């Protein structure tokens, strides 16, 4: 277009930031378009320049997205954690980035204590003062063993795990079986009923599910996730339809498993009575997808967000297995009767892997009824999803949101987009009581602590500078 | 407000009908509000005057609405039709208003023929030329026996029925068990596989479900309907979540019923493999609610909409059991591979009882994914529900639509509102092939033939005139 042509056209002011210029131009009758824009996060300009100039970035992100979206997660087995993950007696896993007892929050300590009683390593969970006192010989992050765990996320050798596999390459991801709500280990409760339930899950539920899955053959968890998004679930704090579809798929083989009818009936009631049962399949399905994108040099895509109740950590496709951590925030939301904001522990659990994969808080537009659980309005749930498109690399082709005309959920968080816009990933989450032994106190909304993104960006910049 | 005050204010034009006045006023800078308005249906002015002036109308409609909304539908039993409905061998029921063989459509004839073979009354369903030739001794409307049936809606004495009961007064409603999709009796198919399936349903499924329901105790169908609307079902052509919730509730008692594990597994697979299974519980739940509003003098609320494949009939709270009928329209929508508009039979089935009770086409805003089945767009699904508020008396407190900020579905069609606005109830429906023996050919959208509403209005006017 020739400059003379531009001069002939009506002036059009594109304004962002403070409204002074736009208001003034508008008053003078000019055509004004206001653009929502904020400056990048403080102190990130130099790193942004380096990373945005990295010529590997765009193809690397395309590659990371394609790898993630190409994964099909199949439930192929149900196994005991010890042999499956190579956990010797006394070796325990937990959610989030690595942490030791001294820095561990109440709910993580409570869950470790309860699991130690369940394993027969300790008697009095209320008196635990160290991992050694509980008979725990080593403590590591679930993610370091290919696993994820909701809330405290404690996995001990005798627990049973779902095994998800991508048939394309045989890679696997693992997750514990969901215990239900309220007074449960993953929320830090460790009373006798909690341990009793874990014992039944190990003696009956795990072996029965193993028999059913082996009899039936693989269950397509990715396909169920796609259906759930059509049925008002976002696969983090609403897993109602997913749980029902899993039950549908496993009922016939459970009935034919040879187990006692009373065991089959107990298992059907247990699963059917817990709308969150499928969460523990959604999480490893998301991990399996995101793990496919790990180790792509130059990619700025987030491949894990996880919390241990003290720290919030993220991992990036282009920075290997390094964690970028900062103190976890406390969620805001709705509380169970008898509890209030002062009772809530900081954000905890590996379940933010769902948001990392385009579900959970990123898919709330598909699950408007979730606002009854986590707070907010239907409009704010829609707005959350809309906002996440600003910081993501793709729209998930399998997760189509009916209310948005079947647009795919925003998927693949880009560190540079988060840093440039200041928009933080929206997570919805259960809230654990901060005192060990309490259990769940509510559910709500939270974001990562902002500083993990500039930290990750700095590491990406350092690597980018090294290759140019 | 004093007239002088009105004269001081800016003029505000409220315009309806043709746009000429509004356009002209707007061009002159006047404030113009356009109101959507159409004249009442032709020839209804005198009857509208009488019915709208009937002082019984408002309290009667309030009463009818309260009765309908007060019903709780519980699945209390599963029984064989013969003894339950007093059907002797050879006595058959069908969907919609009463009709005989000579006027019956292809799918109704096909279903009658298939049911006659199932009952052992006939051998060659393809050669049927009359009910007598099929051994059918009497034919009546399901609604006349407290029952409803989807599509052809044929109920013969050996079929099994769901029994729904309102615990408040012990009233009951009945419906057959759903056979699945495609080549099934209710769509007019009668091949050997259709009859074989009906035999298995009578020999195994019915008795097993009876044992499970009796063992468990009543299943709250109204509560499941309320949950479904949160999960993307509208309970007419999407019953996916409802089917899964029913299966969840019946699994444990099925496992413990004492039936062979293979029968339990077969039944679980049959129910779990048919997303429409719950339709046959949604329909009698709606009938139970609407039957509570029958026989309220002066009420202009519709208590039944039903089609026999030839005629579309409605019944009104204030006009007893009288049917107002007219030729059924042909639905428009999406076709199964190999079929097109020329293959579709006119609208058929008792399933429009769901729309009559505020579900189905009236609840499509809660089920945007339905557009993949019946056609249209997500926006048109939302608009359908919004439009139905114009012709209904209430918002259903139990059926809250998440996408509309938990507004209740439009419920309780008012004949006077339909006649005054010309807005017809929106029904979504499966489409049967018009040739007997075909089965399902598609699914789509349809309305009642408009003339049934002026006919009902005329009857209401006659009754109103008689009491004043």
Query: For the residues of B334-386, what is the DSSP string, one character each?
Result: EE-TT--GGGBPS-EEGGGHHHHTT-GGGGGGG-GGGHHHH-S-HHHHHHHHH
For residue A25, the model assigns a pLDDT of 73
- Interchain CB distance below 8 Å, A244 and B249: no
Query: For the residues of B95-124, what is the DSSP string, one character each?
Result: SSS---GGG--HHHHHHHHHHHHHTTS-S-
Q: What are the chain B neighbours of A255 within 8 Å (beta carbons)?
A: 254-255, 261, 264-265, 268
| DSSP letter, residue A101 | G
A260 CB near a chain B CB, below 8 Å?
Answer: no
Q: What are the chain A neighbours of B405 within 8 Å (beta carbons)?
A: 377-379
Q: Which of A19-33, A73-87, B150-164, B347-361 has the lowest mean pLDDT?
A: A19-33
pLDDT in tens, A310-356: 999 999 999 999 999 999 999 999 999 999 999 999 999 999 999 99
Q: Looking only at Cα atoms, what is the longest distance across chain B?
A: 86
Nearest to B248 among A244, A254, A378 (CB): A244
Q: What are the chain B neighbours of A405 within 8 Å (beta carbons)?
A: 377-379
- Bridge partners (DSSP) of residue A13 are A32
Q: Which of B404-408, B429-433, B464-468 has the lowest mean pLDDT?
A: B464-468
Where in chain B is CATH 3.90.1710.10?
Answer: 74-284
User: Predicted confidence band at B450 (pLDDT cuts at 50, 70, 90)?
Assistant: very high
CATH superfamily for A74-284 is Enterococcus faecalis V583 domain (3.90.1710.10)
Task: Identify whether the C-beta of residue B227 lies closer than 8 Å to the C-beta of residue B263.
Answer: no
With vertex at residue B335, the alpha carbon angle to CA B333 and CA B338, rounded to the nearest 5 degrees, is 155
With vertex at residue B292, the alpha carbon angle to CA B289 and CA B296, rounded to the nearest 5 degrees, is 135
Q: What are the chain A neighbours of B403 within 8 Å (beta carbons)?
A: 368, 378, 403
Could you give the CA distance from residue A193 to residue A198 in angstroms, rounded to a whole number?
A: 9
Closest CA to B316 of B333, B331, B328, B298: B298
For residue A18, the model assigns a pLDDT of 62
Residues B55-80, mean pLDDT to the nearest whole number:
98
pTM of the model: 0.91
pLDDT in tens, A260-272: 999 999 999 999 9
- Bridge partners (DSSP) of residue A440 are A432
For residue A13, the model assigns a pLDDT of 72
A261 CB near a chain B CB, below 8 Å?
Answer: yes
Nearest to B244 among A244, A261, A377 (CB): A244
User: Predicted confidence band at B114 (pLDDT cuts at 50, 70, 90)?
Assistant: very high
Nearest CA in chain B to A401: B369
| C-alpha dihedral (B43, B47, B48, B54), degrees to nearest 10 | 180
- Interchain CB distance below 8 Å, B269 and A249: no
A376 CB near a chain B CB, below 8 Å?
Answer: no
Residues A233-262, mean pLDDT to the nearest whole number:
97
Q: What are the chain A neighbours of B246 within 8 Å (beta carbons)?
A: none
Position B349 pLDDT exceeds 90: yes
Q: Looking only at Cα atoms, what is the longest distance across chain A?
A: 86
Position A403 pLDDT exceeds 70: yes
- Interchain CB distance below 8 Å, A261 and B256: yes
pLDDT in tens, B375-386: 889 999 999 999
Contacts of B216 (CB under 8 A, 6+ apart): B249, B250, B252, B253
Position A218 pLDDT exceeds 90: yes
**Mean pLDDT of chain B, nearest integer:** 94
| Minimal C-alpha gap between B394 and chain A (Å) | 22
| Minimal C-alpha gap between A237 and chain B (Å) | 14
B241 CB near a chain A CB, below 8 Å?
Answer: yes
Q: What is the 3-state secondary structure (H, E, C) of A441-452?
A: EEEEEECCCCCH
For residue B314, the model assigns a pLDDT of 98
Q: What are the chain B neighbours of A265 within 8 Å (beta carbons)?
A: 251-253, 255-256
- Interchain CB distance below 8 Å, B269 and A252: yes
CA B248 to chain centre: 25
Q: Which of A18-32, B299-313, B404-418, B444-458 has the lowest mean pLDDT?
A: A18-32
- Interchain CB distance below 8 Å, A231 and B240: yes
**Helix or strand (DSSP H, E) at B417:** helix B415-421
What part of B 389-408 touches A (C-beta under 8 Å)?
Answer: 402-403, 405-406
Residues B436-440, mean pLDDT to the nearest whole number:
93
Q: What are the chain A neighbours of B378 within 8 Å (beta carbons)?
A: 402-403, 405-406
Q: Which has more confidence, A54 or A9?
A: A54
User: Predicted confidence band at B4 (pLDDT cuts at 50, 70, 90)?
Assistant: low
Position A96 pLDDT exceeds 90: yes
B252 CB near a chain A CB, below 8 Å?
Answer: yes
For residue B14, the model assigns a pLDDT of 73
| DSSP letter, residue A63 | H
Q: Which of A25-39, B126-140, B229-243 has the lowest mean pLDDT?
A: A25-39
Position B60 pLDDT exceeds 60: yes
- Interchain CB distance below 8 Å, A369 and B261: no
**CA–CA distance from A37 to each of A34, A390, A454 (Å)?**
9, 11, 18
Could you give the CA distance from residue A438 to residue A294 in angstroms, rounded to a whole number?
A: 36
Nearest to A268 among B231, B251, B377 (CB): B251
Q: What are the chain A neighbours of B251 within 8 Å (beta carbons)?
A: 247, 251, 265, 268, 272
| A45-69+293-467 is classed CATH 3.90.1700.10 | yes
Contacts of B373 (CB under 8 A, 6+ apart): B237, B238, B334, B443
Where in chain A is CATH 3.90.1700.10?
Answer: 45-69+293-467
Q: What are the chain B neighbours of A378 within 8 Å (beta carbons)?
A: 402-403, 405-406
Position A207 pLDDT exceeds 80: yes
């Amino acid at each position: 277009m020739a400059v003379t042509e531009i001069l002939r056209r009506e002036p059009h002011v594109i304004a962002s930031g403070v409204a002074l210029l736009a208001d003034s131009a508008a008053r003078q009758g000019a055509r004004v378009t206001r653009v929502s824009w904020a400056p990048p996060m403080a102190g990130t300009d130099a790193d942004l320049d380096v990373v945005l100039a990295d010529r590997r970035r765009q193809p690397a992100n395309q590659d990371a997205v394609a790898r993630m979206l190409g994964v099909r997660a199949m439930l192929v087995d149900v196994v005991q954690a010890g042999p499956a993950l190579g956990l010797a007696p006394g070796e325990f896993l937990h959610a989030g980035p690595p942490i030791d007892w001294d820095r561990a929050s109440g709910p993580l300590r409570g869950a470790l204590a309860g699991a130690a009683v369940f394993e027969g390593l300790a008697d009095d969970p209320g008196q635990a003062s160290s991992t050694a006192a509980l008979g725990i010989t080593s403590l590591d992050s679930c993610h370091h063993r290919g696993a994820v765990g909701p809330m405290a996320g404690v996995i001990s050798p005798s627990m049973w795990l779902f095994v998800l596999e991508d048939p394309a390459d045989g890679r696997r991801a693992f997750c514990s079986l969901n215990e239900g709500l309220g007074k449960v280990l993953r929320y830090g409760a460790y009373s006798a009923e909690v341990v009793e339930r874990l014992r039944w899950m190990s003696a009956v539920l795990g072996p029965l599910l193993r028999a059913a899955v082996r009899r039936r053959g693989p269950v397509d968890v990715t396909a169920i996730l796609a259906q759930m998004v059509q049925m008002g679930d976002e696969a983090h704090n609403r897993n109602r339809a997913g749980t029902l579809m899993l039950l549908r798929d496993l009922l016939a083989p459970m009935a034919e498993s040879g187990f006692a009818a009373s065991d089959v009936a107990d298992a059907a009631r247990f699963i059917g009575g817990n709308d969150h049962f499928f969460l523990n399949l959604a999480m490893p399905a998301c991990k399996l997808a995101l793990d496919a994108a790990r180790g792509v040099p130059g990619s700025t895509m987030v491949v894990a967000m996880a919390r241990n109740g003290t720290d919030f950590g993220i991992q990036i496709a282009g920075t290997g297995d390094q964690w970028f951590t900062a103190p976890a925030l406390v969620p805001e939301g709705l509380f169970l009767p008898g509890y209030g904001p002062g009772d809530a522990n900081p954000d905890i659990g590996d379940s933010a892997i769902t948001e990392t994969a385009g579900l959970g808080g990123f898919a709330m537009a598909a699950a408007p009824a979730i606002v009854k659980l986590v707070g907010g309005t239907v409009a704010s749930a829609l707005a959350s999803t809309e906002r996440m498109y600003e910081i993501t690399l793709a729209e998930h082709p399998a997760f189509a949101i009916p209310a948005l005309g079947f647009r795919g959920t925003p998927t693949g968080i880009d560190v540079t987009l988060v840093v440039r816009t200041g928009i933080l990933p929206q997570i919805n989450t259960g809230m654990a009581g901060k005192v060990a032994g309490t259990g769940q106190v509510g559910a709500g909304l939270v974001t990562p602590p902002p500083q993990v993104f500039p930290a990750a960006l700095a590491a990406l910049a350092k690597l980018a500078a090294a290759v140019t």
